[in-house]
């Protein structure tokens, strides 16, 4: 799909290591956003979905559209629309990050491979990844129809200039440390420098109080 | 892949957006695209960067070159460890160059990390397989590939570039040219021939050369602050920078009004190499060129 190729490198390395098991259990790892105006790409992601039992979106572009949503794109004079994989096909697990941590991706893959009702741990590990795969990270994320209706590529995750609602924020600074674009500063409560923000969602997902901040049905 | 519109997407944005966006243009060239963008802004406003900042940037750029050379060689020999070493070296600017900024680098490294990097460099030097160059020479005798015209950032004149279409294909001085490891090593006199086969040998030579350069830079590096708050003037300004990145030439031109980007132009080695690729009708030749689609469909 569309991206810088960093997630692709992580995916290749994991696929190499778990090739047989992934094939046997029909697990597909996909990185990058989908260009809705590229028929081949849309067809490809639909085929991947059709041929796999479990689809794992790897990296922010795949999970939320991430940085790619901010690009205008151009093909024969027409702008392109970059959306998250979940807007085109069903995603089972989603691992956010720009780039995601390779060890985290491996941990999720192992948990999915070993997913067994007897192994409670794997369910605990996978729960947050299921939550963000099944629904937009927070309510204000634009739905695909809204994306189609607007040329505005500033589709924020809804965080505005704070990574999480101050009502929930404890000022611990985890989001600041995790931000891959150095866009956060903290003085009691974290603030986003919107000029640097790449809308990857890493801050939100790593927030220690993210569960409280999520709508009740997603917890 | 279709055009993502990196140039048009930059218009109207703050200069702070250059590093996070350019590091996401292509994983292979993430440091060089960000560095070219930042340097173009610094040139536009005559911003001085502390020496330590320049050293850190150069170390990261060389780390990127090692990683890319190793990745591109991996189709021919096992270079996995060298790839990881290059990656660790380029992370001196943080993941995705997050400490790179207009005015320098936001964080220096610790004494301990410097020591670790020096050990890594020494390890890398022991991994360089010079025997591979002899194998390339043997193949060269068996399969004939053409000689190529070369360009590099050290003798680059933007007025000689002729671009066509979108995505851009480019000629230099009216000629089909190659940009990349071979151009750099030829410029430095470390390789004497300009055959397409020599791209492979150049990559091996370049890995060793870059590791030596990094060693020198690390020894020069003092652990003082590598950043100076830049003064951004209010009026209009234009800056351009051309550097050698992992794949080859990376040229960025930026038109600014204060902190706002009015216009952004990017030219990469792949705009030239695509023209070369289209002119080569040999599979082995195509395999050696290995076009990076992300840098082409930017």
Q: What is the ipTM of this complex?
A: 0.91
Contacts of A2 in chain B (CB under 8 A): 1, 4
How many structural domains are present in chain B?
A: 1
Is A169 inside a domain boundary? no
* Same domain assignment for residues A109 and A183: no
| CATH number, position B49 | 1.10.645.10
Q: What is the mean pLDDT of residues A54-74?
A: 88
Is A154 inside a domain boundary? no
Is B85 inside a domain boundary? yes
pLDDT in the model for residue A196: 86
* Same domain assignment for residues A32 and A123: yes
Is A62 inside a domain boundary? yes
Is B248 inside a domain boundary? yes
* Same domain assignment for residues A26 and A91: yes
Q: What global pTM score does this model have? A: 0.92
pLDDT, tens digit, 9 for 90 and up, residues A168-178: 788 888 889 88
**Chain B residues 119-148 with CB within 8 Å of chain A:** none
Is B118 inside a domain boundary? yes
* Same domain assignment for residues A23 and A70: yes
**Chain B residues 101-120 with CB within 8 Å of chain A:** 106
CB contact (8 A) between residue A73 and residue B28 = no
**Out of B6, B27, B99, closest to residue A5 by CB:** B27
* Same domain assignment for residues A110 and A193: no
Is A168 inside a domain boundary? no
Which residues in chain B come in under a pLDDT of 50?
none
> Taking the CB of residue B266, how many other CB atoms lie within 10 A of it?
21
Is A161 inside a domain boundary? no
Give the confidence band of A162 by pLDDT, cuts at 50, 70, 90: low
* Same domain assignment for residues A131 and A186: no
Contacts of B30 in chain A (CB under 8 A): 4, 6
| CATH number, position A84 | 3.40.50.700
Residue B173 — left, alpha, or beta (φ > 0 → left; ψ -120 to 50 → alpha)? left
Is A165 inside a domain boundary? no
Give the confidence band of A213 by pLDDT, cuts at 50, 70, 90: low
Is A162 inside a domain boundary? no
Buried b (16+ CB within 10 A) or exposed e, B102-120: bbbbbbbbeeeebeebeeb
CB contact (8 A) between residue A75 and residue B3 = yes
CB contact (8 A) between residue A71 and residue B6 = yes
pLDDT in the model for residue A151: 39
pLDDT in the model for residue A19: 95
CB contact (8 A) between residue A98 and residue B96 = yes
Contacts of A72 in chain B (CB under 8 A): 5, 8-9
CB contact (8 A) between residue A67 and residue B16 = no
Contacts of A78 in chain B (CB under 8 A): none
| CATH number, position A210 | 3.30.70.20
CA distance B167 to chain A (A): 9
pLDDT in the model for residue A135: 61
How many structural domains are present in chain A?
A: 2
Q: Which domain holds residue B171?
A: 6-296
* Same domain assignment for residues A125 and A201: no
Q: Which domain holds residue A117?
A: 6-141
* Same domain assignment for residues A114 and A34: yes
Judged by a CB distance cut-off of 8 A, whether residue A191 touches chain B is: no
Is B197 inside a domain boundary? yes
* Same domain assignment for residues A204 and A118: no
Task: Tell me whether strands B104-105 and B236-244 are parallel, antiparallel or unpaired.
Answer: unpaired
* Same domain assignment for residues A58 and A136: yes
Closest CA relative to residue B104, chosen from B25, B50, B164, B185: B50
Is A152 inside a domain boundary? no
Is B83 inside a domain boundary? yes
Give me the sign of the Cα torsion angle B202, B208, B209, B213.
positive
């Amino acid at each position: 799909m569309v991206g810088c190729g960093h997630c692709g490198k992580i995916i290749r390395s994991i696929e190499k290591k778990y090739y047989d098991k992934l094939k046997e259990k029909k697990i597909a790892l996909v990185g990058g956003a989908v260009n809705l105006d590229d028929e081949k790409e849309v067809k490809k992601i639909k085929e991947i979905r059709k041929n796999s039992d479990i689809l794992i979106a790897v990296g922010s572009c795949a999970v939320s559209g991430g940085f790619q949503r901010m690009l205008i794109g151009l093909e024969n004079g027409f702008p392109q629309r970059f959306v998250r994989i979940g807007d085109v096909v069903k995603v089972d697990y989603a691992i956010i990050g720009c780039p995601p941590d390779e060890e985290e991706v491996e941990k999720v893959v192992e948990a999915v491979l070993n997913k067994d009702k007897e192994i409670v741990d794997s369910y605990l590990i996978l729960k947050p990844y299921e939550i963000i795969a099944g629904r937009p990270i927070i309510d204000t994320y634009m739905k695909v129809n809204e994306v189609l209706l607007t040329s505005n590529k500033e589709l924020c995750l809804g965080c505005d200039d704070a990574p999480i609602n101050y009502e929930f924020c404890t000022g611990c600074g985890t989001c600041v440390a995790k931000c891959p674009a150095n866009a956060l500063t903290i003085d009691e409560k974290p603030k986003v420098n919107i000029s640097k923000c790449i809308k990857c969602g890493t801050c939100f997902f790593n927030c220690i109080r993210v569960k409280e901040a999520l709508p009740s049905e997603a917890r | 892949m279709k055009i993502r519109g990196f140039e048009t997407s930059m218009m109207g944005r703050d200069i702070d957006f250059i590093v996070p966006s350019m590091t996401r243009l292509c994983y292979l060239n993430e440091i060089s695209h960000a560095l070219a963008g930042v340097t173009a802004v610094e040139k536009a406003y005559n911003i001085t960067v502390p020496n330590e900042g320049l050293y850190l940037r150069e170390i990261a750029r060389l780390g990127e070159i090692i990683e890319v050379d190793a990745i591109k060689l991996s189709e021919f020999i096992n270079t996995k460890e060298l790839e990881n070493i290059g990656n660790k070296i380029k992370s001196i600017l943080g993941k995705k160059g997050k400490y790179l900024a207009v005015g320098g680098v936001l964080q220096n490294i610790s004494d301990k990390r410097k020591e670790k990097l020096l050990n890594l460099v020494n390890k890398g030097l022991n991994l360089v397989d010079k025997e591979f160059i002899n194998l390339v020479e043997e193949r060269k005798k068996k399969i004939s590939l053409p000689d190529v015209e070369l360009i590099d950032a050290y003798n680059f004149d933007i007025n000689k570039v002729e671009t066509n279409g979108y995505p851009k294909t480019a000629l230099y001085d009216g000629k089909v040219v190659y940009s990349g490891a071979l151009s750099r090593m030829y410029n430095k006199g470390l390789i004497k021939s300009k055959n397409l086969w020599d791209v492979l040998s150049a990559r091996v030579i370049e890995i060793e050369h870059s590791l030596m350069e990094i060693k020198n830079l690390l020894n020069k590096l003092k652990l003082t602050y590598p950043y100076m708050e830049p003064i951004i003037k209010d009026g209009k300004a234009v800056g351009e920078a051309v550097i050698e990145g992992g794949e080859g030439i990376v040229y960025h031109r930026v038109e600014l009004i204060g902190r706002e980007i009015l216009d952004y132009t990017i030219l990469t080695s792949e705009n030239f190499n695509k023209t070369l690729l289209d002119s080569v009708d040999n599979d082995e030749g195509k395999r050696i060129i290995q076009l990076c689609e992300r840098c082409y469909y930017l």
